[in-house]
Chain A
Amino acid sequence: MSAGTAKLNVTVAEVKPINDLVTRFKFVRTGGGDLPTFSGGAHTVVEMQDGDITRLNAYSLMSNPADRGAYTISVRRDDQGRGGSKFMHSKVKEGLEMVISNPVNLFSLDLRAKKHLMLAGGIGITPFMAQMHQLSMMGGNFELHYSVRTASLGTYAKELSERYPGKVHIYHDDQKEAIDLKTLLANQPLGTHVYVCGPKGMINWVHSTAEDMGWPREAVHSEEFLAPASGKPFEVKCAVSNKIVQVGEHQSLLEALEAAGIDAPYLCRGGACGQCETNVIGYDGKFLHYDHWLTDEQKAGGKHIMPCVSRFEGKTLVLDR
């Protein structure tokens, strides 16, 4: 089976700056027609033709899943990043034809939950927007606690407060407001599931606090896509395809494999889903594992690597690709 997911040809129907950092993009199917429906929490992988480089970045779908006329995503500009978000902000204009993947959901609602408690930090709000659309349509019980830096950077905070009165709580960092997580968790009805999407520190804080308070692991859900880190260039030998591949400073190993025409599987491109796991045949050097997928034991074992985010430093690396 070929890599990635089935593709959709789309046209950019709207580009709307939301604040200093975030811009919203609306896609419709090129040539008209419905897009596939999706479930709240799903993302799409957007292909960007940036000169000679093809970039593939995953973004959460934030529009109403029932609306098959268009998908929307929001992209936060990351000036320190490798260029995907800068490309979206500077090069993507209305009318541009692009290719995106079918929706993939690695952060779905547990539909057994009696209540869905959502904790968002910054741009981590986007998957919850689709989930809240879905839950409000189904009469689901949900509550959002959303932490933003300032009111002006509180992406969609105002409109969400208006759309779901009484269900949305906003916390402003600059006003020293913070989620009182312990009290919040202590007062939830039985059968509540907790969802968190935001910076790494916030995700770890929610998991560890919930665990300390005796919450079952299965009732706490999180999503964090890592952007691939830049690093020193390195060389990799692919045993199956019999190719030597150079990985550039600002390129991920996965991107380098793809550029060399090697059919490598992937889904999230952010170290979370496990789809790109690749066997290491031999190496002389040091792995830089950045993923959430491999266990610490596997990371130490030198037999596996997740090419979407992880890197290598050293003399030789031979992969089973």
Chain B
Amino acid sequence: MTIQFNDETFYGDFTFKNSDWAIKRFPFPFHEDSYMYSVNMEPHKSYRPGSVFERTFDVDEHYVSEMKDRARVLANDPLRCQSLPHMTLAGWDLVELIMEAKAAEYPDLFELHKDGNRWRWVNKPLGIDDTFTFLDESTLPYGPMEYITRQTQGDFAVLDQRDDNLWMDAGMVTTQADWSLDFDIGMNFFEWHAPVPKAHEMGIFVRALKFLLNIQQGQPARRLNWTMTVNPLLDTSPENYHKWGVMKQGLTMENIGEKQHLRVELQTFFRLPRSNALVFPIRCYLISFNDLVTVPKWARRLHRVIRDLPEELATYKGFIDNRPLMVEWLSQFDDGTPTSDGIWPDDD
């Protein structure tokens, strides 16, 4: 299909909206009526045509506007994109991974032509047609990681692997759920996860790290994570908390359906071949409560999950104050009917 790209904003007047197509393919993250952490990894294989799991890097109707929003955030705060000196090779690995995947999977939108190390990259939605020399930084307008992630939806953490640990040594982070690359840069896996409640005691991170260290070339993995965001903000960074934190106040039964969004991250993990680094793309999908409850199964389930979520998790995810209102509003759509297993709508 040819994608119709929206012209929309993720700040100010918040004109972001999901089409019926985008609602139907939304990655609803709850496979049952309750939620607790788990290392819920699965192979990142093409699955369910039309879904966000079909392609290596999903491109949707928000692509062009998300890239404009990234450029805006970077202009205000260049520290959202950092790469320690030893990570340049990993940046090239990422250029290759994304260009090859997008050109193969979206031939109507992207083209990659190679003549040895001389590469021509055509990005039709963004109007880019560049020719450069692979592994020669001087031939690109930005560093390799910055260049390609200005053209790819989602945040990117590029993790160096050494000493049986992973290190946050590069990244492009403008659509984050309240964490800071500038704060985490250079930290290892346990250090940057230190603020997460409960999971340490459950041994989640030891198991997750062991899994990630063993991710192999050609065998990427994925998982979903989620939180809540008031207004369709991609940039919910600690750096800008003074701007968006206040938006969490003032929700009412009348406006919550429009303003409250479920925020879902499709997290994928790829081994990078030349650098042996790991890239961790974190792709953010937003859906308003109004749009979400158009799928009856999701409405019933979200009500039950939010109602029963342990208090530490609601606090950590930043919506403990608004939880009673969310539950009250969502309860209108939960008649107690059982929900089927799995994340997909019933009418499929």
Closest B residue, CB atoms, query A6: B218
Number of interface residues of A (CB under 8 A): 27
User: What are the interface flags for B159-184 relative to A under an 8 Å C-beta threshold, 1 for contact and 0 otherwise?
Assistant: 01111000000000000000000000
**Chain B neighbourhood of A79, CB < 8 A:** none
B49 to chain A, nearest CB (A): 22
Which of the residues A6, A108, A267, A275 comes within 8 Å of B276, measured between beta carbons? A108
Partner of A111, one of B89, B163, B216, B273: B89
Q: How many angstroms between the C-alpha atoms of A88 and B107 in the bound complex?
A: 43
> Complex formed: what's the CA distance from A110 to B84 in Å?
13
* B113 on the A face (CB < 8 A): no
Check B218–A36 contact: CB distance below 8 A: yes
Cα separation A74 to B332 with both chains bound (whole Å): 69
Interface status of B219 (Cβ within 8 A of chain A): yes
Cα A42 to Cα B216 with chains together (Å): 11
Nearest CB of A to B337, in Å: 35
Contact B161 A267 (CB under 8 A): no
Name the B residues within 8 Å of A111 (CB-CB): 86-87, 89, 160, 275
Within 8 A of B (CB), among A17-63: 36-39, 41-42
Q: Tell me the complex Cα distance, A66–B42, Å.
A: 30
Docked pose: A137 CA to B89 CA in angstroms: 12
Could you tell me which residues of chain A, from 101 to 128, have a CB within 8 Å of some CB in chain B? 102-105, 108-112
Q: Contacts A39-B273, A267-B214, A275-B214 known; A108 to B161 CB distance under 8 Å?
A: yes
User: Contact at A36–B274, with CB atoms within 8 Å?
Assistant: no
**Known contacts A36-B273, A37-B274, A111-B160: A102-B214 contact under CB 8 Å:** no
Residues of B within 8 A of A1 (CB): 41-43, 219, 221
Q: How does the 8 Å CB contact mask read for B195-233 relative to A, with 1 for contact and 0 for none? A: 000000000000000100010111101000000000000
Q: How far is the CA of A218 from the CA of B188 in the complex (A)?
A: 14
Contact B274 A65 (CB under 8 A): yes
Does A134 make an interface contact (CB < 8 A)?
Answer: yes
CB-CB under 8 A from B273, the residues of chain A are: 36-39, 65, 103
Contacts of B221 in A (CB 8 A): 1
Counting CB contacts under 8 A, is A138 at the interface? yes
In Å, the complex CA distance between A41 and B275 comes to: 11
Closest chain B residue, CB of each to CB of A7: B218
A103 adjacent to B214 (CB under 8 Å): no
Q: Are A5 and B163 in contact (CB under 8 A)?
A: no
A154 at the interface (CB under 8 A from B): no
Given A1-B43, A275-B214, A102 and B219 contact (CB-CB distance below 8 Å): yes
B residues near A (Cβ < 8 Å) are 41-43, 84-87, 89, 96, 135, 160-163, 210, 214, 216-219, 221, 273-276
- For this complex, 19 residue pairs linking A to B, each with C-beta atoms less than 8 Å apart, are A1-B42, A5-B216, A5-B217, A6-B216, A6-B217, A36-B217, A37-B96, A37-B273, A38-B273, A39-B275, A41-B276, A103-B217, A110-B162, A111-B275, A134-B274, A218-B163, A267-B214, A274-B210, A274-B214
In addition to A37-B96, A39-B273, A102-B216, 9 A-B residue pairs with Cβ atoms within 8 Å of each other are A5-B218, A6-B216, A38-B217, A39-B274, A39-B275, A42-B276, A65-B273, A108-B161, A112-B84
